[in-house]
Amino acid sequence: MNQLINVKPAVEAAEYRYARGWHCLGEAKDYRDGQLHTLNIFGTRLLAFADEQGAISILDAYCPHMGADLSQGELVNGKVVCPFHHWAFDASGRCAEIPYCKRIPPKAKTRKWLTCEENNLLFVWNNPEGKPPAEGVEIPHLPEIDSDEWDHDWHLDLMMIDTNPRELVDNLVDAQHFGPVHGTPTKYFRNTFKEHIGTQLFMGDSERLGGDLIADSAYYGPATHFTRMRAEYDGLLVESILLNCHVPVGPNQFELRFGVLVKKIPGWTEEQNKQLALDYVNQNRTSFYQDVDIWSHKRRVDMPVLAEGDGPIYQLREWYQQFFMDEADVPAMHKELREFIVVDNR
């Protein structure tokens, strides 16, 4: 599903720095189709492709020769062939062949981006300083992805949203929108922040997603959010994992991917479990799109007027800001665990 959500621009492109962190590009299998994939992200154009062994590479898309868009070329024997002069680039980004020249200039190469695959998803690393991830900065492995007890199809939706990604990340601490927007008043709400991880624990009752709903979630860096959920749904205990991730296109636009995994009900047939998964995924989509609709009509507020019970919005933004500065400048306070219990009506 593709949608375009418009919100008033909030950040000027000339002054914008893209967040340091792992960014999800969807399911890895989609890139193993023998095609070149254009990626308009981080204010530039990249291309993704898989070699003959299935290893996925991401390169800067503009040819260092005369600037042609390599993503508009062809993939031949695992090499990207430029549409302009047929220079061929291998998975490392180096030019491997020039049809009219035997000597390859040493500077004939394009940037290769760091990637990883985890939980059947493809991620690309962005760091304006050019450094690899620090120790421990990684996407966690979900053991459920290896279990036959779970449906392994993420049921991903892709949306293009015209606003700054911070609007999305704010939801991590917004304790009081669950009732008005989702019809799910908050019973318990807690946030923690430490290093590159920000968490939320939510408890409440949802007509759409089930009673005694528990949602335990975390951002791993600025852009990848997993939520483990469990609830009594239609007389059944349903467990699921939500993926909510984004990649910036420009300062005020991002690709948003939303997906759900659902645990199978023991004793049910594959067809019954498939139908349950689809039903629950659709309920989650409806709930999530209620947030999307809010973003489509609101504007950015840098200094919100807050009331008691609103949640640690300023503390979240302080945590989020670390991904937009040099690592050496990140305040030491982010190494310490900070906890905020906002609501406790259990």
Q: Which domains does the chain have, with CATH numbers?
A: 21-126 (2.102.10.10), 143-344 (3.90.380.10)
Closest alpha carbon to 8 in 167, 158, 172, 159: 167
Q: What pLDDT is recorded for position 63?
A: 97
pLDDT for position 209 = 66
Torsion angle defined by CA atoms of residues 263, 267, 270 and 274, in that order, rounded to the nearest 10 degrees: -40
Helix (H) / strand (E) containing 275:
helix 270-295
Triad 19, 61, 251: Cα angle to 5° = 30
* pLDDT tens sequence across 161-180: 999 999 999 999 998 988 88
Q: Which of 205, 211, 206 is nearest to 187 (CA)?
A: 205
| Contact status, residue 104 vs residue 88, Cβ threshold 8 Å | no
Per-residue pLDDT at 12: 54
At 4 the pLDDT is 46
Instruction: Walk along the chain (346 residues) in steps of 10 and give the mean pLDDT of each run.
Output: 48 76 97 97 97 95 97 96 98 97 96 98 97 97 95 89 92 89 87 98 77 91 96 84 96 93 92 86 83 85 92 96 97 97 88
Cα 331 to Cα 114, 164, 252, 318, 322, distances in angstroms? 26, 24, 26, 10, 8
Using the 8-state DSSP alphabet, how is residue 175 labeled? T
- The helix or strand, by DSSP H or E, that contains position 112, with its residue range, turns out to be strand 112-113
Q: For the stretch 43-69, what's the b/e string if a residue is b when 16 or more beta carbons lie within 10 angstroms of its beta carbon?
A: eebbbbbbeeeeebbbbbbbbbbeebb
Pair 82, 73: CB distance under 8 Å: yes
